[in-house]
A and B are shown apart, each in its own frame.
Chain A
Amino acid sequence: MSAVAPSRSLLRPPDVRLRSAFRLWQRNATIYRRTYKMNLLPNFFEPFLYLLAMGLGLGAYLSQVEGIRYIDFIAPGLVATAAMFGTSYDVTFNAFVKLRFGKVYDAVMATPLTPEDIALGELLWGTTRAFIYGVVFLIIASFFGVVHSWLALLAPLAIALVGMMFSVIGLAFTAVVPLIDYFTYYWTLFITPMFLFSGIFFPLDRLPDWVQSVAWFIPLHQAVNLMRALVLHGDPGAAAAAAAWIVVLTAALGVLPLNLLRRRMIR
């Protein structure tokens, strides 16, 4: 049996096993459980503060956007944002620390797990965190009377989908950056602009056509559309279109963080 260096192609079928990936998810959950009270509490305050300041404070001056209460307009987008933030910190800074400084992945690599298992485990864990953040936000927001459709019952599923998409994007970035300082670019050039220009705080349809064409390609914009269709408009067609966009992107990029992490760790 002759040893030949295996393919480093990013399109190679990943050597992944769901049960092994779940082991890494369990490791993260074990640590989260130790500190969840401390971690979870800010998750309750943040939505309160946003809805209070933007929805009620700013909303008092705006009264209505597209014939809708301002707080009703922004709440679904903030749920999508909560999901995005819920995973993004974890799959960028936290994952990088485990990769480079804590050497947690090095230790795991001495067990039957593969780099692909580790990556999938992180994606599932990021999705879990997005789910917790997003659902908590939605529950708090519902007390402000912002839920207007029974389709909102599908929102937890949509939140998980959004969480998976941002986990895939974030972890792919983490697997290629050489230094932790690069994450500043991820946040200031990707996350923050998306947060401001995805139609959360103002509708994009009064803006020039080209802005709307560009917006179609922005992941958070699609996530906002999805959430608004479910929670506010009760529009299954719009929800399906946005969900399909997210599924296609996530599926298309899904293998990337797995193979990028292999390329980084197996040398």
Chain B
Amino acid sequence: MSTLPGAPVVAARGLVKRYGTFEAVRGIDLDVPAGRCFGFLGPNGAGKTTTMRMIATSAPPSEGELTVLGLPVERGREIRSRMGVVPQENNLDEEITVIQNLVVYARYFDIPPSVAQPRGEELLEFVALGDKRERMPEELSGGMKRRLLIARALMSDPEVLVLDEPTTGLDPQARHLVWEKLRELKRRGVTLLLTTHYMEEASQLCDRLVIMHEGRILVEGSPRELVAREVPPQVVEVLEPQDHEREHLAALEGVADHVEHLSDRVLLYGNDGEALLGKVRGIVADQGSVWLRGSGLEDVFLSLTGRRLIE
């Protein structure tokens, strides 16, 4: 049984999740196309992880409709047999070796060891852990553990891979290695669903994404589309301006399309960055605290919520 070509891998209508009186997800609609990387971006507590848990069939929705791989979410066994899950927290089996972790996990999918053993070796090579097969999980670094979790999720050859903050807590090098592997999986046709609060991760990996805030979806689109649609293309950032400088910068509203005041900085958005930069330089004494950059997803989020993604 396979999904129809072009049919969404995940489709949600009016999806709600409540814990007691707290609404973690407050009515969202989703259509995740097959073979792409789809991202859920938002700060902690936005409802990303709860949404992923519903998609991974471990949290039944309180309201609304949800189908995964064309199946209603109540058919968890069938859905999970075609899905790989990479958790946010390491939950490797600490009592068995790296390769045994893969073989034991494959057995949960009724994959016999004679198949799982060579597939496990192959996947360890893929995630660059070929020389670690007989090690215990505790001997691995954080980045290696994350890669092993990815290999484990791939043991059942899933159609869709669900990743909850795949690079949180990793150093930049380890992060880039994970991104590289995820891009390769996408090329092989695996649908990727991931949550993140890193703008760079979202723009590097995601073909489409939604930005979530307080249980709702604020916007949806490709990273490029969202930036082009929601914010002016250029930003002048002023780090820690003096109070009187803040007042003068505030007066630039009108010259700039929009001025955003944060506790530690002021952001001035506009189409003509150079012109804006010239005006700002005339106001701020410490020239080293002023710079011009292109706007990104962080700015989209900021303009929608008045808050930053990572606080």
Contacts and interface: CB of A to CB of B under 8 A. Distances in A.
Interface of A: 1-3, 5-6, 15, 17, 19-20, 23-24, 26-27, 30-31, 34, 102-104, 106-114, 265-267
6 contacts: A3-B66, A3-B73, A23-B108, A27-B107, A30-B100, A110-B153
Contacts of B96: 30-31, 34
Interface in B17-69: 19, 56, 58-67
Nearest to B153: A110
Contacts of B72: 1, 3
Contact of A1 (B15, B67, B81): B67
**Which of the four size classes fits the interface of chain B?**
35 or more
Interface stretch (B83-91, B230-238, B265-273, B292-300): B83-91
Given A3-B73, A265-B58, 7 more contacts: A3-B61, A5-B62, A19-B110, A26-B107, A111-B105, A114-B76, A114-B77
**In this complex, which of B92, B93, B104, B108 has the most chain A Cβ atoms within 10 angstroms of its Cβ?**
B108
A30 B59 contact: no
A3 B76 CA distance: 12
Interface of B: 15, 19, 56, 58-67, 72-74, 76-78, 80-81, 83-85, 87, 89-96, 100, 104-105, 107-110, 152-153, 156
B56 A267 contact: no
What are the nearest 10 A-B pairs in CB distance? A103-B91, A111-B108, A110-B85, A1-B72, A3-B61, A107-B91, A112-B81, A112-B77, A31-B95, A5-B60
Contacts of A20: 108
A5 B61 contact: yes
Contacts of A2: 64-65
Contact of A27 (B62, B104, B110): B104
A260 B62 CA distance: 20
Contact of B109 (A15, A30, A112): A112
A94 to B, nearest CB: 10
B93 A107 contact: yes
A122 B100 CA distance: 19
A122 to B, nearest CB: 14
A103 B89 contact: yes
Contacts of B152: 107
A107 B109 contact: no
B107 A102 contact: no
Given A3-B72, A23-B108, A111-B109, A266 B91 contact: no
B156 to A, nearest CB: 8
Given A1-B67, A267-B59, A34 B95 contact: yes
Nearest to A267: B59
Contacts of A112: 77-78, 80-81, 108-110
